[in-house]
Amino acid sequence: MICFSDDAADGQVRYQGLRFLLWLDNSDPHVEMAAAVCDALLALDRSMASSKSRHFASSHAHRCKHRLWTALTIVQNLLVKIKPNRMERILQCALTGLVEG
């Protein structure tokens, strides 16, 4: 009998989500989906940044932000087809997040 803990189930969900993002290719529908995912992740990052200024390494918020930026890093290669001003906005958000913590 195999027993799965909540942590293992959570890890499996993250693994499958990242696997899905890695599966995307440069076709237009996938690029549009990657852009929509990117916009949603950036909106989540902004809302998390406005709610609390400091995150400890072991905090739930820190883990969420780490997972969020992992997903953004994975889809960045698909976003090359997007207009340059949109990529600049994404990079600006990334740099702002790094500077402000």
Measure the N-to-C terminal CA separation of the chain; round to a whole number of Å: 44
Spatial distance between the Cα atoms of 85 and 49, rounded to a whole number of angstroms: 22
Cβ contact 43:89 at 8 Å = no
Q: What is the pLDDT of residue 88?
A: 75
Q: What is the pLDDT of residue 1?
A: 47
Eight-state DSSP code of residue 56? -
97 token code pair: 């997040």
What's the pLDDT tens digit per position in 40-85? 888 888 887 777 666 566 677 778 888 888 888 888 777 777 766 7
The answer on pLDDT for 30 being more than 80 is: yes
